[in-house]
Amino acid sequence: MAPPIYVKGGVWTNVEDQILKAAKTAKQAKARWNEYLNPLINRTDWTKEEDEKLLSLAKLMPNQWRSISPIMGRTATQCVERYQKLLEEAVKGEDSDRSDDEDLKLTGPGIETLPALGNAFESLPSRPDLEDMDDDEREMLSEAKARLANTQGKKAKRKDRERMLEESKRISLLQKRRELKAAGIKVSLESKNRKKRQAFDYNADIPHEHTPLPGLFDTTEEEQRTEKEALSFEKTVNTKGMAMSDVEKSNKRKAEELVKRESNKSLKEIKGAAEASTLAAEEDLKRRKLNIPAPGEKETTRNIEERIKLKSKDIIESQKTNSNIFTSPAASHEVPRQIDFEPHKMTQRIPKKKLVELISKSLARLPKTTKRVQLVLPQLDSHEDLVTAELEEDSTNKAEALKLLQRVEEEKAKLRRSQVVQREYHIPNPKTLVLPSEDGLSDIEKEIATEFHALIKSDYKEFVDSSASGNIVHILEEEEYNTIKDLISKECKDQEHVMKQLLERSTNLPHTTDAMDRVYDLIQELSSRAEAYEFPIMDSWNRYYEEVRSQIEGINEKYENLSQLDIETRLYTSIADQETEAIKWRTARLKKTMEDISRAETRTLKKRDSLY
């Protein structure tokens, strides 16, 4: 349990006020500051408006002086005292005729509504010091004054003292340096002994720098190593061409790796084919499971019931679908053969080609379809042949077939468009195209250019901007398109044959070191000749560049002068226009004034004549 805290009450003394000013922060000290010592407290006389406001607030908030005081801008004690004084004045004014006996009664009119002040010592003025104070009180007063004067502690005083010493030292160093400089001696203010420095000077020094030892460093080993590296570099890089032995070795190694991969691939294919053949043979040798009726059961009745079930299933499936591709195996009255693979053979990998053959054989064993139907997708390929569809003569199927054929014709017409439209390339604006000059073109090339320009205009008008000028080129018929396509492919084949013959006739350089050396010599000769031509060209280019730059600077200077003159011309022109307008306006105003004066003179003369 904490020891009790004894608090001294009573009226505040001057010594205690001084202690409070020396930064005491107890509850009573805070109350003393807020109620009496605060210089912001309003100590002026009360006005009639403040009295009226205080009475109205006391009526609205009875005995809530802590809430009333911030509204009034005064302390709570001031508000209470002023309220009591107002009530006493009112009571004295009303009951001035009361007897002394009534004044001495314990109760009176409205006494229950009076606020209880209590001992508000914090709001009372401080009691003056006694002339014969005790030693303890004198010591307390001197300590309070010392604390009030000492706004900084011992550490702060020491820091100020050190700062003043440093400043005086710096000033003395500056004076010393100035005197030495006047004598012709240059001295730095910084200490030359880096070991005694407390921190790095990143502007002047390099942190953690290791200075090299004085004297020359022995570089004989480095020179020998450099000579060896230079010799090896000359042998490997600066030789005339690359050694053919290295090239032949790399080519030979690549060819051996290719042959090895091909042989491994062929072995894998042979093994896969053998495994697939054994699987197919085992599949053919397998039999169906033998189903024998139970003894004593009538086969005829059971077969009839099974056939009835199968036929009912067939009718339902035929009503649902029109194609036998998606029907169940029961629709063909055949039981599918089950292919049983051995577990150890399922884990082995089978080549892709053999799997394709096996799947194609399995699909070939499917039952034949009763109707021939073709499914046509809306997206067609230009190299895909379309197979005609044989549909039943039904009204609904005919309508669907017509729609399907119409869509097919539309897709085929799209395939006959230009390649730019098919591949969704950007179609240029015909206005931006520049037609070639017809001087160096033949008649065929002129026709090709005209047709090409017309095709661009047509595609631009049809797919980009319908308001553009030009006619739309109609799509070719299928027969014409196929004929033109065949002619183009035939011509391309002929050109390929001619190019093949030309390539066969062309001679190749021999793959020998002599040939490579010769080519390298020619390249070096061309390089040296190019360097010889480069210097005069660069010299002339530099002179041309300087001349152009000087002309550009002259042009810019003249342009600036011209711009300044233009601005001045416009300015003076606008000033002249404004002066002209002002002259006209002033002339009109003066004329009007003259007319008014003449009219006034006329009226004056008439009036004078009438008087006389």
> What tens digit of pLDDT does each residue of 393-413 get?
455 677 777 888 878 877 777
Whether 242 is in a domain gets the answer no
Quote the distance between the C-alpha of residue 435 and its chain's center: 45
What pLDDT is recorded for position 306? 65
Cα(384)–Cα(488) distance, integer angstroms: 18
Output the CA–CA distances (angstroms, integers) from residue 88 to 78, 111, 154, 458, 528, in the order listed.
15, 11, 56, 110, 123
Lowest-confidence region among 7-11, 123-127, 454-458, 526-530: 7-11
Total domain count for the chain?
A: 2
290 vs 530, more confident: 530
pLDDT of residue 326: 40
pLDDT at 582: 94
Measured CA to CA, the distance from residue 484 to residue 96 in angstroms comes to 135
389: Cβ–Cβ under 8 A, 6 or more apart, which residues?
Answer: 372, 373, 374, 376, 401, 404
Distance CA 452, CA 446 (A): 10
User: What value does the mean pLDDT take over residues 508-530?
Assistant: 82
Question: Does residue 147 lie within any of the structural domains?
Answer: yes
Instruction: Read off the pLDDT of each residue in 220-224 and give the average, rounded to a whole number.
Output: 86
Q: In terms of residue numbers, what domain contains 63?
A: 14-151
What is the model's pLDDT at position 380? 47
Asked whether residue 580 is assigned to any structural domain, the reply reads yes
The pLDDT value given to residue 570: 93
- Which of 14, 48, 49, 17 lies closest to 32 in space, CA to CA? 17
Q: What is the pLDDT of residue 345?
A: 44
pLDDT of residue 549: 92
Kindly state whether residue 251 falls inside one of the protein's structural domains: no
CA distances 192 to 12, 53, 526, Å, are: 63, 77, 63
Give the pair of three-digit tokens for residue 72: 């009034």
pLDDT (mean) for 269-287: 61
CA within 13 Å, CB half, 198: 0
Q: Which of 30, 5, 39 is nearest to 122 (CA)?
A: 30
Region of 380 on the Ramachandran plot (φ > 0 left; ψ -120 to 50 alpha; else beta): beta
Quick one: pLDDT at residue 388?
Answer: 44
pLDDT at 190: 64
Most confident of 195-199, 219-223, 245-249, 554-558: 554-558
Residue 309 predicted with pLDDT over 90: no
Confidence band, pLDDT 50/70/90 cuts, at residue 592:
very high
- What are 407's two structure tokens? 């869509």
Q: pLDDT-derived band of residue 335, with 50, 70 and 90 as boundaries?
A: very low
User: Do 12 and 123 contact (CB within 8 A), yes or no?
Assistant: no
* The domain boundary residue, chosen from 126, 151, 176: 151
Residues whose CB falls within 8 Å of the CB of residue 487, separated by 6 or more in sequence, listed in order: none
Q: Are 57 and 72 in contact (CB under 8 A)?
A: yes
Query: What band does 575 get if pLDDT is binned at 50, 70 and 90?
Result: very high
- Among 322-326, 436-440, 462-466, 605-609, top mean pLDDT goes to 605-609
Q: With a cut of 90, say whether residue 3 has pLDDT above it.
A: no
String of DSSP letters for 254-311: HHHHHHHHHHHHHHHHHHHHHHHHHHHHHHHH--PPP--PPTT--HHHHHHHHHHHHH
For 572-583, what is the mean pLDDT? 94
Looking at residue 112, what is its pLDDT?
43
Q: Which two three-digit tokens encode residue 220?
A: 């004989």
Average pLDDT over residues 366-388: 51
Q: Which residue has the higher pLDDT, 270 or 176?
A: 176
What's the pLDDT at 97? Answer: 52
Which pLDDT score, from 0 to 100, does residue 328 have? 42
Residue 90 lies in a domain: yes
The verdict on residue 203 lying in a domain is no
Q: What are 223-259's pLDDT values in tens digits?
A: 888 888 888 877 776 565 555 566 667 778 888 888 8
Instruction: Among 151, 175, 193, identify where a domain stops.
Output: 151
Spatial CA neighbour of 415 closest among 316, 312, 346, 485: 485
Of 76-85, 178-187, 355-364, give the lowest mean pLDDT range. 355-364
Q: What is the mean pLDDT of residues 101-106?
A: 47
Mean pLDDT value of segment 379-386: 47
Taking 80 as the threshold, does the pLDDT of residue 163 lie above it? yes
Instruction: Read off the pLDDT band of 105 (50, 70, 90).
Output: very low
Distance CA 254, CA 260 (A): 10
Which one of 151, 176, 208 terminates a domain?
151
* Residue 50 within any structural domain of the chain: yes
- What gap in Å lies between CA 533 and CA 522, rounded to an integer? 17
Q: What is the mean pLDDT of residues 562-574?
A: 94
Asked whether residue 481 is domain-assigned, the answer is: no
pTM > 0.85 = no
For the ranges 15-29, 349-363, 408-422, 490-504, the lowest mean pLDDT is seen at 15-29
Residue-wise pLDDT for 434-464, tens only, equals 766 666 677 888 888 888 888 888 888 778 8
Tell me the average pLDDT of the chain: 73
Q: Which range is least confidently modeled, 72-76, 331-335, 501-505?
A: 331-335
Across the range 61-69, mean pLDDT stands at 89
Q: Are the C-beta atoms of 422 and 414 separated by less than 8 Å?
A: yes
Task: Give the model's pLDDT for residue 544.
Answer: 93
Q: Say whether pLDDT at 329 is over 50.
A: no
